[in-house]
Amino acid sequence: MNDLSRAELLDHELAEAMDKLVIVKSAIYTSGECDPRDPPLRQDTAGRLHLMGHDPRLPKMPAKPTLFDFFNYRFGPAAHMLQSARLALKNGCNEKVILACLVHDCSAAGFIRTDHGYWAAQLIAPYVDEEVAFAVRYHQVLRFYPDEAFGYKYPDSYVRLFGLNYRPEPYLDRAHEYCRNHKWYETGRLLTVNDLYSFDPNLQVELEEFTDIVGRNFRQPEEGLGFDDSPSAHMWRTINWPTRYL
Ligand SMILES: [Fe+2]
Ligand SMILES: [Fe+2]
């Protein structure tokens, strides 16, 4: 079978699977585009079952997914995280900082953008040293606050993205204050120092370069992420099966 007819067959199989399923989006996906108080769009559900597992439009994940599987199957372009990790490595940071850099934007890449540092920290917390989760949580906050001692300036990109008049909200001020006085402040700050967008646009970094660091610092559950009953397993399952009805 040539590539074209294989693609056609897959399209056909997908269309058939879609015909048999009712697939809906969670309120959070559409809130804003739609008023979440409005009733959901009516679908013709006669003779169809509501999706309760893998979404046929997505690549299927292995039964016991690893962190790298999530990078490969569910996260958007990860070059930024990989480049941050490589930069931290080059700058002589310790493995906690390098791992934190590698995963710091995983929520924005595959889950939720709003408060992405907090979501990402929660996702990884059961599997990493507390200090790594701390850095990931607070990198989002610290990015808004310069610290000359570390050579960290308010990002020019934030001026472009949010305008000159944007000021962090009081909850961010409080979180910054708390973090600044914390014994792990430096770890969080080092993450922001290495959190650069394409410090070299031509640099290609492979996930496999970090296999050993991840192996030593990320406690990959035997059952696979999402199926290990950890406090964040449900979040990994949601990334795996984002359109499951319940
Ligand atoms: Fe971030
Ligand atoms: Fe980042």
Ligand 1 centre distance from Cα of residue 103 (Å) = 10
* Partner residues linked to 50 by β-bridges: 22
How much of the chain is helix, strand and coil, in % rounded to 5?
Answer: 50, 5, 45
Which protein residues have a CB closer than 5 Å to ligand 2 (ion)?
105, 195
Amino acid at 198: S
Residue that has been written with the tokens 């996906």 in this structure = 29
* Partner residues linked to 31 by β-bridges: 34
Ligand 2 centre distance from Cα of residue 176 (Å) = 17
Is this model's pTM higher than 0.85 or not? yes
> What pLDDT sits at residue 83?
95
Per-residue pLDDT of the chain (246 residues; tens, 9 = 90+): 677 777 787 788 888 888 899 999 999 999 999 999 998 888 889 999 999 999 999 999 999 999 999 999 999 989 999 999 999 999 999 999 999 999 999 999 999 999 999 999 999 999 999 999 999 999 999 999 999 999 999 999 999 999 999 999 999 999 999 999 999 999 999 999 999 876 777 889 999 999 999 999 999 999 999 999 999 999 999 999 999 999
Ligand 2 centre distance from Cα of residue 143 (Å) = 9
* Partner residues linked to 49 by β-bridges: 21
Ligand 2 centre distance from Cα of residue 190 (Å) = 12
Which run of H or of E encompasses 110? helix 106-110
> What pLDDT sits at residue 225?
98
Which protein residues have a CB closer than 5 Å to ligand 1 (ion)?
105
Residues 112-144 as b/e (b if ≥16 CB within 10 A, e otherwise) read beebbbbbbbbbbbbbbbebbbbbbbbbbbbbb
Ligand 2 centre distance from Cα of residue 84 (Å) = 8
Tokens found for residue 225: 């992420």
Displacement of CA 125 from its chain's centroid (Å): 13
Ligand 1 centre distance from Cα of residue 117 (Å) = 6
* Partner residues linked to 21 by β-bridges: 49
Q: How many Å is the maximal CA-CA distance in the chain?
A: 64
Ligand nearest the Cα of residue 108 is 1
Ligand 1 centre distance from Cα of residue 188 (Å) = 11
> What pLDDT sits at residue 23?
94
> What pLDDT sits at residue 226?
98
